[in-house]
Structure 1
Amino acid sequence: MNDLMSTGALNLASLLVSVVVLVMGLLLWFFVNRASSRVNEQIELLEELLDQQKRQNALLRRLCEANEPEKVDSPAQPEQPQADDDDFIRLVAER
């Protein structure tokens, strides 16, 4: 009779451990699945943001090209060389 009681307690303990492991596995799966779905939502939002930024950049590029002043071929004025005084000042070390 004593053997029957210990076998029943062993089966009950084994069943209890199995249920606890199952519950912990389900909780772990729930939190991993939840985190995964949140990350997927964030990735979708970031991809949407990237698409919007690309469209904005294209629009800005078109606006800049439209507002760019046209180059007029005017007679180029030769650049005047800087005064010799400027060259001398560059050579003198400041104290």
Structure 2
Amino acid sequence: MEVISSGVMGMAPLVMSLLVVVVGLVLWFFVRRASARSNEQIELLEALLDQQKRQTALLRRLCEANEPEKEASAEQDASAQAAQEDEDDGFIRLVAER
């Protein structure tokens, strides 16, 4: 009996260390897998950011190209409004006072 129990007791530390190594390898596998996925997501987000920067630059160029038209239309609106006010003043002037 003593031989069997001493053999089992001698194997226990070996089995425990083997079990710790297996659990460590499994954990290492999942950590590496999560890290690889997060790196892929970071690359995709950086690509999206780059595309958004390009789109923003294009939109700014389009807005800058359309600004002179807006200024011209704003000037026309202002001159039309001033002309309308002049006409209104002229109409009031024509009304007889009491």
TM-score by length of 2: 0.67
Identical aligned pairs, as a percentage? 57
Local SS of the residue matching 2:82? coil
RMSD: 2.1
- Measure the CA separation in 2 of the matches of 1:78 and 1:29: 79
Q: Please report how far the alpha carbon of residue 15 of structure 1 lies from its aligned counterpart in structure 2 after TM superposition.
A: 1.2
Matched, 1:71 2:76: no
TM-score by length of 1: 0.69
Give CA deviations for 1:44-90 in whole Å, capped at 9, x if unaligned. Answer: 1101100110010000110111122163456572896xxxxxxxxxx
Matched, 1:54 2:43: no
Aligned residues between the structures? 79
For structure 1, the residue ranges without an aligned partner over 5 or more in a row are 81-95
Higher share of residues assigned helix: 2
Larger radius of gyration: 2
- Measure the CA separation in 2 of the matches of 1:39 and 1:3: 54
- Measure the CA separation in 2 of the matches of 1:61 and 1:23: 57
For structure 2, the residue ranges without an aligned partner over 5 or more in a row are 86-98
